[in-house]
């Protein structure tokens, strides 16, 4: 039986979810966005099947409603929802990156007999907007679902089965676990990256050449500091308790590291780096939280046209890249050309392409 899915919010996530779900032949996608231009664009480029002029009217037709809106807007709409005319067995979900506040707000739906299952696809892109939407955005990424503790398992299975067509790894956790784990691997690293950039800015006042040396490792480590500040303002406010706890743990670790530097011998310091390397090397190779790209380092000779030569080979093989940069200073990687890809599959194809056409060595970090 054909399912009608209403997606409210047609940015990168909502648009990509629409395209991913359209792989299912028994799904019809209705889209709504506060921006008429975004809505028309989504229909014109085939992201959605139908446009919803009025959100509440479209919700009457939907078997599944997905809020792909900022968390604060999702909470506002959830509070209005009990007055909407909805199908009896409708399932409502969201894509917000924090879950406790949303699940707290969704109690009003539970009390009204409306099924709500929190959701968070842990993927993203350096691009934004519906025109950046891609059907493969969620492939191999974790898609976290946070149903209420006593939620009907059959309804959770209906949503999970629907989402599997996006090729995401759908898992269920509770909201508290979700917010704690994402604080560790996603939200807190943004604070660290931002703080490192702030430290660089202060140092650069006394040593103006510092920024010129901030290539390679520093740029890789702090890349996420370039993310949308409004989005990360909201995430930080919504998850501030978990982030405060993580900051305290971080401060204790920094104190331990300071003591190690001041009082330990070279062997102990080496062991500290060795343990970090081992843990890092054992991390699974998959899309992580929020924004994932896959970098390939290419050790290229220095002659005119070498970069266009490589990109030409990739273009001939129809391999799409998301970013291209040159490393001026990096001691732990031989390659000086860094090419970023949105999927692991694209990166693997690039390795084969470069090996087929050149003698340049490639590295994955």
Q: What is the CATH number of the domain that holds 327?
A: 3.30.70.260
The answer on 159 and 183 residing in a single domain is: no
List the one residue out of 194, 105, 104, 180 whose CA is nearest residue 144.
Answer: 180
341-358 pLDDT tens trace? 877 889 999 999 999 999
pLDDT at 42 over 90: yes
Question: Residue 286 domain-assigned?
Answer: no
Q: Which domain holds residue 225?
A: 178-281
The answer on 160 and 53 residing in a single domain is: yes
272-304 pLDDT tens trace? 999 999 998 887 755 544 455 688 888 888 788
Strand pairing partners for 119?
145
What is the mean pLDDT of the segment spanning 188-193? 92
- Rounded to whole angstroms, the Cα distance separating 31 from 68 reads 10
What tokens does 152 get?
A: 């009907």
Q: How many domains does the chain have?
A: 3
The answer on 101 and 19 residing in a single domain is: yes
Name the domain boundary from 173, 200, 219: 173
The answer on 70 and 104 residing in a single domain is: yes
Question: At 270, which CATH number?
Answer: 1.10.3660.10
Query: What is the per-residue pLDDT for 55?
Result: 94
Q: State the pTM of this model.
A: 0.76
The answer on 47 and 108 residing in a single domain is: yes
- Rounded to the nearest 10 degrees, what angle do helices 266-281 and 240-263 cross at? 140
Query: What is the per-residue pLDDT for 293?
Result: 64
The answer on 134 and 7 residing in a single domain is: yes
The answer on 224 and 147 residing in a single domain is: no
Question: Residue 230 domain-assigned?
Answer: yes
Question: Residue 289 domain-assigned?
Answer: no
Query: What is the per-residue pLDDT for 218?
Result: 82
- Rounded to whole angstroms, the Cα distance separating 92 from 193 reads 34
- Rounded to whole angstroms, the Cα distance separating 165 from 162 reads 6
pLDDT at 46 over 90: yes
Query: What is the per-residue pLDDT for 260?
Result: 95
Query: What is the per-residue pLDDT for 126?
Result: 62
Query: What is the per-residue pLDDT for 328?
Result: 55
The answer on 140 and 89 residing in a single domain is: yes
Question: At 112, which CATH number?
Answer: 3.40.50.720
The answer on 239 and 137 residing in a single domain is: no
The answer on 112 and 90 residing in a single domain is: yes
């Amino acid at each position: 039986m054909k399912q009608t899915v209403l997606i409210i919010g047609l940015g990168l996530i909502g648009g990509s979810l629409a395209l991913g779900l359209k792989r299912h032949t028994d799904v019809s996608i209705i889209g709504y966005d506060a921006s008429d231009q975004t809505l028309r664009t989504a229909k014109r480029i085939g992201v959605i099947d139908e446009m919803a002029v009025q959100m509440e009217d479209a919700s009457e037709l939907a078997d599944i409603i997905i809020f792909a809106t900022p968390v604060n807007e999702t909470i506002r709409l959830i509070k209005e929802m009990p007055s909407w005319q909805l199908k009896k067995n409708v399932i409502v979900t969201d894509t917000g990156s924090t879950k406790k506040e949303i699940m707290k707000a969704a109690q009003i739906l539970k009390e009204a007999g409306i099924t709500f299952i929190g959701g968070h696809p842990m993927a993203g892109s350096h691009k934004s907007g519906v025109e950046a939407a891609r059907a493969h955005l969620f492939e191999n990424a974790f898609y976290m679902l946070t149903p209420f503790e006593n939620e009907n398992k059959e309804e959770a299975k209906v949503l999970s089965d629907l989402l599997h067509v996006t090729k995401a790894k759908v898992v269920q956790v509770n909201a508290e676990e979700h917010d704690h784990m994402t604080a560790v691997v996603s939200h807190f690293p943004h604070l660290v990256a931002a703080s490192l950039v702030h430290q660089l800015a202060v140092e650069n006042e006394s040593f103006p050449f510092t920024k010129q040396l901030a290539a390679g490792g520093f740029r890789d480590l702090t890349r996420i500091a370039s993310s949308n500040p409004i989005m990360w303002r909201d995430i930080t406010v919504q998850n501030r308790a978990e982030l405060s706890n993580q900051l305290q743990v971080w401060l204790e670790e920094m104190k331990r590291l300071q003591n190690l530097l001041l009082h330990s011998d070279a062997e102990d310091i080496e062991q500290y780096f060795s343990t970090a390397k081992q843990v890092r090397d054992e991390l699974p190779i998959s899309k992580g939280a929020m924004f994932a790209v896959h970098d390939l380092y290419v050790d290229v000779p220095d002659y005119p046209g070498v970069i266009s030569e490589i990109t030409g080979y990739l273009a001939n093989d129809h391999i799409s890249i998301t970013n291209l940069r040159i490393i001026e200073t990096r001691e732990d990687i031989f390659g000086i050309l860094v090419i970023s890809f949105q999927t692991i599959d694209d990166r693997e194809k690039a390795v084969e392409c470069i090996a087929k056409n050149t003698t340049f060595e490639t590295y994955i970090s």
